[in-house]
Amino acid sequence: VGSVIMATNGNNLTPGMGDIIQLNVGGTRFSTSRQTLMWIPDSFFSSLLSGRISTLRDETGAIFIDRDPTAFAPILNFLRTKELDLRGVNISILRHEAEFYGITPLVRRLLLCEELDRSSCGSVLFHGYLPPPVKTKCIFSLIIRLQKQCVCFYCVCAGPVVDPRKVLIIAGHHNWIVAAYAHFVICYRIKESSGWQQVFSSPYLDWTIERIALNAKVVGGPHGDKDKMVAAASESSIILWSIQDGGSGNEIGKVGVWNAVTQHWQVQDVVPITSCDTAGSFLLLGCNNGSIYYIDMQKFPLRMKDNDLLVTELYHDPSNDAITALSVYLTPKTSVSGNWIEIAYGTSSGAVRVIVQHPETVGSGPQLFQTFTVHRSPVTKIMLSEKHLVSVCADNNHVRTWTVTRFRGMISTQPGSTPLASFKILSLEETESHGSYCSGNDIGPFGERDDQQVFIQKVIPITNKLFVRLSSTGKRICEVQSVDGTTISCFMVRECEGSSRMGSRPRRYLFTGHGNGSIQMWDLTTAMDTANKGEERKRDGGPTEEELLQLLDQCDLSTSRCATPNISPAPSVLHHTRLRESCSRLERQSTHTTLKTDTQTT
């Protein structure tokens, strides 16, 4: 009688066949037994077949599950045999699906498989680890206690609360680096004998830091020759510290130009500044009226009167466009005669121009050397180096590069600059993010101007992976992944004196700040040497189509669109839900930008 009833409930007239379950997973039919699906307690299937969650059936009466059928096949095979075959299987996707179905034994095995490819000691490029400072833990505990008295994490007046543990910005100068958190800064110094050491920690600031600057070699300043200067700023507040060799810091409280003769700070208002660069003792300012101004920081105290910084116009753009990017290259001729200078600049209309001041044209100022009109969006970055001219525009960080011909170290018209490459440094940063996130994720280019420079590509906001690419061609040099699996919140490239031995050159390091407050270091000099020797297979550039899809999968793993109820969302889903809006913006932008073409060019 029981067999007859079971067969009737299963809509099958054959006695004893009611235990066969028909499944429709993403349009693919599967047949299995109830015993196979039920042997793991508290799983998705045990809840589904016991009636604790509702079922959706197709036209044939099979239970419909709106999930990936390709990933379901090895999961069902594991339920049948308790064995796992990973040939041709993406472990990350399979683990995510196993988390959805609540197959705990399979999830544990897949985590072990992922650990085989991951090392807490990092790759060959990993060079060091600075743990989170104690202050971040104390401040975070304080904020948590305060938040328990509030309803939400958002204040109408102050805006969203910034995670106090996260490293927002990293800056460096010589063998010093400074890390900015939400409400304080910490300075580190490297010594050949003992490595990186913390030498200064600022007091707690009531406002959120958005900009930092560091000068580790102050000579002739108002506070002695051995002082180090650290500045932090928000939209409306600025503070400056003077750090002695012992690590103590004195708050100065002002930022400006110090005049040693009159013993006061000098400031001067000019038209709105849209870009800047330095060349020796000259400070060049690109402004929104199309003019490039300069200030001689070495000579102005001798000729200064009425609090005047002697801001002088050097050049005016022929189209009157705003100067949005500036790059000055000092040739070997400059150090001898001081009257040869090369300047590349970009404008709001997308034009890229190179101007040159020859020794014979000192009285008439720089002359227009070459114009490129290849960009259609405002130029955001420009770099003129010994061998290349690199420009970046606002269209998804579109990069155009040219080779530069030189004769005796000076730019030449024979045969002149020729196009080299075109690619994109795709970055899906959140546009509504805190201002410091943008300054802490500057793509570059980084490096000395007489050497190959690099771009650093952070594709999605919450990621533990960065792509390092040549600025001249866009070719991928390497990729780095955080050794502790934490999110990379900011990064910076710096050349440091690694050794005091005679003839040793500075080494180029990539510093990454992380969501848990730690700082990790990567040896890019080794990566460059490996890439130049061709010891690794050269990739096309940025993330491939498969890598991009995997990164985007980290952005939006929501299962809320699934018709099948989800009783136990994966932890990765909960971790990345805050990025759904940014991914929606990406989908809207896809009508204007073809991702396939972008990944091929990058």
| Interaxial angle between packed helices 91-101 and 104-116, expressed in degrees from 0 to 180 and rounded to the nearest 10 | 160
- pLDDT value at residue 596: 38
412, 416, 447, 277: which is closest to 333 by C-alpha?
412
DSSP state of 221: B
d(C-alpha 272, C-alpha 443), whole Å: 24
d(C-alpha 306, C-alpha 398), whole Å: 45
Amino acid letter, 215:
N
**3-29: burial string, b at 16+ Cβ within 10 Å, e else:** eeeebeebebeeeeebeebbbbbeeee
97, 28, 19: which is closest to 58 by C-alpha?
28
pTM of this prediction exceeds 0.85: no
Contacts of 33 (CB under 8 A, 6+ apart): 19, 20, 21
Chain-centre distance for alpha carbon 306: 44
| 3-state helix, strand and coil shares in percent for the chain, rounded to the nearest 5 | 25, 35, 45
187, 180, 140, 215: which is closest to 435 by C-alpha?
180
- pLDDT value at residue 429: 67
Question: Residues in the chain with pLDDT < 50?
Answer: 1-17, 151-158, 219-225, 254-255, 305-306, 336-337, 431-437, 536, 556-602
DSSP state of 506: P
- The dihedral formed by the CA atoms of 427, 429, 434 and 440, expressed in degrees to the nearest 10: -30
- pLDDT value at residue 558: 42
Cis-peptide into 41, omega within 30 deg: no
d(C-alpha 519, C-alpha 581), whole Å: 28
| Interaxial angle between packed helices 545-555 and 580-589, expressed in degrees from 0 to 180 and rounded to the nearest 10 | 140
d(C-alpha 317, C-alpha 346), whole Å: 10
- The dihedral formed by the CA atoms of 102, 108, 114 and 120, expressed in degrees to the nearest 10: 120
Are 68 and 97 within 8 A, CB to CB? yes
Are 496 and 188 within 8 A, CB to CB? no
Are 63 and 21 within 8 A, CB to CB? yes
d(C-alpha 382, C-alpha 453), whole Å: 12
Give the gyration radius of the chain's Cα atoms: 30
Instruction: List the structure tokens of 135.
Output: 């202050």
Beta sheet of 228-233, edge-to-edge order: 211-215, 228-233, 238-243, 249-251
420, 395, 427, 516: which is closest to 470 by C-alpha?
420
Are 402 and 388 within 8 A, CB to CB? yes
- pLDDT value at residue 133: 85
- pLDDT value at residue 347: 95
Are 342 and 315 within 8 A, CB to CB? no
Chain-centre distance for alpha carbon 345: 24
Q: How many CA atoms lie within 13 A of 198 on its CB side?
A: 15
The 3-state DSSP class for residue 310 equals coil
Pairing relation of β-strands 312-316 and 282-287? unpaired
The DSSP bridge partners found for residue 457 are: 467
d(C-alpha 522, C-alpha 129), whole Å: 9
Per DSSP, the residues of 425-482 read: ------TTS-HHHHHTT----BS-TTS--EEEE--SSS-SEEEEEETTT--EEEEEE-
Domains of the chain from N-terminus onward? 20-118 (3.30.710.10), 273-424 (2.130.10.10)
Are 266 and 259 within 8 A, CB to CB? yes
Cis-peptide into 415, omega within 30 deg: yes
Cα angle vertex 566, ends 562, 571, to 5°? 110
| Count of all residues that appear for the chain in the document | 602
The DSSP bridge partners found for residue 456 are: 468
